[in-house]
Amino acid sequence: MSTIYCMNCGAELAEGARFCTECGSPTLLGAGLADTASRAQISCPACGALNDMGDKHCSACGASLAAAAPHVYEPIPETNVRRGELVENVRDSRSRTMAIGVIAAVSVAIALVAGALASGVINVGEDSQTVATVPTTDVQQNQEEEPAEEENLIASAGIDAKDTLADYSWEELGIIGKEMSRRDSRDAALSIAKEYNLVDESGNMTQVTKEATISGMGVVTMRLADVYHDSLSNGEGKAGLTFLGADVPLSHRMNEANDITGGWEASEMRGWLNHDVYNSLEDGLRTSIVAVDKMTDNEGHSTSSNSVTATIDKLWLPSMVELIGHIDWTWPSDPDNSGGYNSIANAEGSQYALFAQGGVVGLEGNELLVLEGPDGVAQWWERSPSPSGTARFRIVSESGDATEICNTSAERGVCLGFCL
């Protein structure tokens, strides 16, 4: 008889065995399939159906079984491998199956751990090798990723907001000013000034000052006069911040001779400010200043507002109208031409918010215009020539009256103005 083997593990089976002694799997007999000894059958020669030995006729088709041949169940045929090789192959197959399962399980576990770490469910301590699970709600996670608004001090210009004007460097104020100039309205620019505490909560100018060093000349104290007021010379809108001196440590004459021909544009004062003083400013301030258009009577001794033209200036003096606002008064030196003179004065700009909010009006003196020089309260220059004469520019008196006049050859205080 041929040797038979277990269909599951390949072990050699004893004759008539119903179960494998190696793996316990049922044999043909154990599975209920009779061998030739216990379940001899014959095949119907007509239809092939199996019938028990001794039957005369086929139970399926009724044909005679006289010539039927006995049907013998074939054992598992011998393979061309030895038993040990067959068993080893079976074991290798099982090992591969188990290995694939383990790898798959480990991969799933790693993915789960990575996801948990990313989402904050698992927190690995820096000083510990243990892994602790920390339940984190969506709200907590969002709070960690997005700091509370009150803790975020970086405002619109991309730098930290500070308490007052004095706390910023000139470079930082330059950045803020440029951001303000990009806005399309004064209100929009003013909102940035509020963010950076350059104005009060109502948007009004404050009396907070900041010093600027002028190499070889001393230190001048500056204050914010207005926002989004002066026109940039490059035609790209308004300068964000306008500063004016809060004192007058410098002094200079307007012209060598008592002559207003050419007005502010041709004055010695303008050349001195935009060359000597500008080049002596501390680096952070000098590089932050932007050029603006200043409107001034550059003809002199005229009654027509056509004499008012623009000059491009980085440093300048304020005009009379920028200090006291709209002018409508009788000129004592030439009352008949007061209308023409007023039109010239009013064309030289508009009043800065610092003085409008401080109640500076017309011919009345105001303490906001009273400035200290090296020797106490001083008179100081405006860039406005007096159109009714030929030798004088406007000055501010010791009492804060901005309508006074002075010969151009005299030295008076210099109220420095610039924009950022």
Distance CA 272, CA 89 (A): 102
**In this structure, is residue 6 part of a structural domain?**
no
Between β-strands 251-253 and 411-413, what pairing exists: parallel, antiparallel or unpaired?
antiparallel
Tell me the two tokens of residue 415: 């109220």
Put residue 120 in one of left, alpha, beta given phi > 0 → left and psi -120 to 50 → alpha. Answer: left
- Angle formed by the axes of helices 170-181 and 186-195, to 10°? 150
171 and 96 share one domain: no
* Position 171 in a domain: yes
Region of 104 (left: φ > 0; alpha: ψ -120 to 50; beta: rest) is alpha
78, 112, 146 - which closes a domain: 146
Residue 362 token pair: 């017309």
- Phi, psi of 233, deg, nearest 5: -70, -20
User: Looking at the domain assignment, is residue 378 inside a domain?
Assistant: yes
The model's pLDDT over 210-258, given as tens digits with 9 standing for 90+, comes to 999 999 999 999 999 999 999 999 999 999 999 999 999 999 999 999 9
Statement to judge: residues 261 and 351 lie in one domain: yes
How many structural domains is the chain composed of?
Answer: 2
Greatest C-alpha distance within the chain: 157
Clarify whether residues 261 and 382 are in a common domain: yes
A 10 A CB-CB count for 120 gives 15
Q: Which of 255, 396, 241, 253 is nearest to 324 (CA)?
A: 396
3-state secondary structure of 350: coil
The answer to whether position 34 is within a domain reads: no
- H or E element in which residue 244 lies: strand 241-245
Q: Which residues contact 95 (CB under 8 A, 6 or more apart)?
A: none
Local confidence pLDDT in tens for the 420 residues of the chain: 455 666 666 667 667 666 676 766 666 554 444 443 334 566 677 766 766 666 676 776 777 766 655 544 444 343 333 333 433 443 444 444 334 343 444 343 444 434 444 444 444 443 334 333 334 344 344 444 444 443 445 778 889 999 999 999 999 999 999 999 999 999 999 999 999 999 999 999 999 999 999 999 999 999 999 999 999 999 999 999 999 999 999 999 999 999 999 999 999 999 999 999 999 999 999 999 999 999 999 998 889 999 999 999 999 999 999 999 999 989 888 999 999 999 999 999 999 999 999 999 988 889 999 999 999 999 999 999 999 888 999 999 999 999 999 999 999 999 999 999
**Residue 45 lies inside a defined structural domain of this protein:** no
CB 309 within 8 A of CB 296: yes
Tell whether 133 is covered by a domain.
Answer: yes
Contacts of 156 (CB under 8 A, 6+ apart): 179, 192, 195
Predicted local confidence at residue 42, as pLDDT: 66
Residues 140 and 185 in one domain: no
Same domain, 252 and 129: no
Together in a domain, 271 and 338? yes
Query: DSSP state, 194?
Result: H
364 and 238, same structural domain? yes
The answer to whether residue 290 sits within a structural domain is yes
**Is residue 73 in a domain?**
no
Domain co-membership, 188 together with 218: yes
Please indicate, yes or no, whether residues 117 and 171 belong to a single structural domain of this protein: no
- Residue 299: phi, psi to the nearest 5? -110, -50
Structural domain range at position 279: 165-419
User: Residue 363 is inside which H or E element, if any?
Assistant: none
Domain finish residue from 119, 146, 173: 146
Structure-token match 């004469």, residue found:
389
Which residue do the tokens 């920390």 mark? Answer: 134
C-alpha torsion sign, points 385, 391, 397, 403:
negative
Q: What is the C-alpha separation between 358 and 370, in angstroms, rounded?
A: 13
**Residues 253, 390 within the same domain:** yes
d(CA 43, CA 66): 11
CB atoms within 10 A of CB 71: 17
CB contact burial 11-29 (16+ within 10 A = b; e otherwise): bebeeebeebeeeeebbbb
- Of 72, 81, 73, nearest to 5 by C-alpha is 81
**SS3 per residue for 245-299:** ECCCCCEEECCCCCCCCCCCCCCHHHHHHHHHHHHHECHHHHCCCECEEEEEECC
- Among 368, 407, 359, CA closest to 386: 407
Put the strands of the sheet holding 417-419 in their side by side order: 209-214, 218-227, 241-245, 417-419
Pick from 249, 264, 245, 208: which is nearest to 369 by CA? 245
Residues 272 and 315 in one domain: yes
Whether residue 131 is found in the same domain as residue 176: no
> Residue 92: which residues within 8 A CB-CB, separation 6 or more?
none
- What distance in Å separates the CA atoms of residue 178 and residue 202, rounded to the nearest whole number? 22
Secondary structure class of 336 (helix, strand, coil): helix
Q: Which residue has the tokens 């590089």?
A: 287
